[in-house]
Amino acid sequence: MKKKFRFLAFIGIVSLFMLAACGGGDSADSGSSEDGGDEGSSDVKFLSILTGGTQGTYYPLGGSFAEFISEETGIKTTAESSQASAANMTALADDTAEIAFVQTDIAYYANKGELMFDGQAIDNVSALGSLYPETVQLVTTEKSGIKSYDDLKGKKISVGAPGSGTYANAEQLLEIHGLTMDDIDAQNLDFGESTESLQSGQVDAAFITSGTPTGAVEGLNATTQVYIVPVEDAKADELIEKYPYYAKDTIPSGTYGLTEDVPTVSVGAMLVIQNDIPDDVVYDITKAIYENTDKITHAKGQLIKAEKGLEGIGIPVHAGAQKYFDEVNGN
């Protein structure tokens, strides 16, 4: 009887130890989860990249980036069309997406709470990396008769979709040429709508800020002779002096069937990401994009280089992206 009692007592003690061990394991797992919310890509299952209109440059590049991220990190990533830069910054601030294309000037305004973000600074978004120059193109057709900015007064001009960086560029270039939005019949159209309206004669010219060659403008050139209104050197200098995030640029001869180089200006294209995406995940995303640029079929892919990933950025860089670029640059 005593033996039986001792045996049952032994079993009870062993069971208590096993329960304690299990409880301790659960506690450790819970602590690990709390301490390690920054530990791996497994915590992030889906990502959305906001681009721009389907006929711009952001959209096809976004599709490539989404594919790279999905393949390299295992995080299902999709590219979404959008109203472009300013709207993209607002969407990330509102937590409706995680990554977005944006012009460097618009990212700067959002971070500082200036211009279209006056009093509403966006502080939950940081830079993932710079991409390529975004050329400001004032597109018209040979039949419009518009050859310079002086010819724009009183004409129907597309100045970009509401919430786009193109609108800000149009406003600033008009200003440098002594014009305002009140001097033209401004139309808020996206790139595709702009070129369709140019083709049908519903607008006389259109501002398009995008990497060249831009699909929408190429499509227009397939049906009618495209003309790009030049920004003269002195005006470019004046613009850059007042708005230093611009740079001089050239649309080379042969683009859109042009017979000579056209001087203009550009801002930068960049990617931004929400601050609360874990550092290691952002590191993996950045690496996935910048180490697969040789697979990009769009002409702008040749300009996207890890060595230039921090150029022209005027807002804080996400720590995960900074780590990647430090490694690339040997810092």
* 81 and 145 housed in the same domain: no
* Residue appearing with tokens 């001792």: 6
* 151 and 166 housed in the same domain: yes
Q: How confident is the model at residue 32 (pLDDT cuts 50, 70, 90)?
A: very low
* 182 and 105 housed in the same domain: no
- Mean pLDDT over 59-65 rounds to 96
Q: How confident is the model at residue 163 (pLDDT cuts 50, 70, 90)?
A: low
In a domain, residue 14? The reply is no
Supply the range of the domain harboring residue 98. 47-132+269-329
* 194 and 215 housed in the same domain: yes
pLDDT at residue 3 is higher than 80 = no
Q: Which residue stretches of 76-126 are H helix?
A: 85-93, 104-112
In a domain, residue 288? The reply is yes
213 preceded by a cis bond (ω within 30 of 0): yes
Among 249, 267, 285, residue at a domain's last position: 267
In a domain, residue 320? The reply is yes
* 143 and 263 housed in the same domain: yes
Lowest-confidence segment of 19-33, 126-140, 159-173 by average pLDDT:
19-33
* 119 and 138 housed in the same domain: no
In a domain, residue 240? The reply is yes
- Mean pLDDT over 135-142 rounds to 96
pLDDT at residue 9 is higher than 90 = no
- Average pLDDT over all residues of the chain: 87
Lowest-confidence segment of 36-40, 219-223, 303-307 by average pLDDT:
36-40
Q: Are the C-beta atoms of 316 and 127 separated by less than 8 Å?
A: yes
pLDDT at residue 12 is higher than 60 = no
β-bridge pairing 185-187 and 156-158: parallel
β-bridge pairing 205-210 and 156-158: parallel
E-strand ranges in 179-235 read: 185-187, 205-210, 226-228
Model pLDDT for residues 78-107, shown as the tens digit of each residue: 999 998 899 999 999 999 999 999 999 999
In a domain, residue 40? The reply is no
* 177 and 56 housed in the same domain: no
Model pLDDT for residues 225-246, shown as the tens digit of each residue: 999 999 999 999 999 999 888 8
* 153 and 244 housed in the same domain: yes
What are the residues whose beta carbons fall under 8 Å from the beta carbon of 60, sequence distance 6 or more?
215, 297, 298
Long-range contacts at 233-237 (CB < 8 A, ≥ 24 apart): 233/263, 235/149, 235/176, 235/177, 236/263, 236/264, 236/265
pLDDT at residue 49 is higher than 60 = yes
* 274 and 201 housed in the same domain: no
In a domain, residue 28? The reply is no
Among 267, 287, 304, residue at a domain's last position: 267
In a domain, residue 15? The reply is no
Q: How many domains does the chain have?
A: 2
CATH number at residue 55: 3.40.190.10
Start-to-end CA distance of the chain, whole Å, equals: 75
* 263 and 273 housed in the same domain: no
The neighbour count for residue 292, using CB atoms within 10 Å, is 18
- Mean pLDDT over 22-32 rounds to 36
Q: How confident is the model at residue 42 (pLDDT cuts 50, 70, 90)?
A: low
* 235 and 284 housed in the same domain: no
In a domain, residue 139? The reply is yes
Among 267, 286, 320, residue at a domain's last position: 267
- Mean pLDDT over 99-120 rounds to 93
- How far apart are the C-alpha atoms of 212 and 133, rounded to whole Å? 9
* 55 and 179 housed in the same domain: no
Q: Which tops the pLDDT comparison, 12 or 60?
A: 60
pLDDT at residue 1 is higher than 60 = no
What is the per-residue pLDDT for 106? 93
Model pLDDT for residues 184-207, shown as the tens digit of each residue: 999 999 888 999 999 999 999 999
Q: How confident is the model at residue 131 (pLDDT cuts 50, 70, 90)?
A: very high
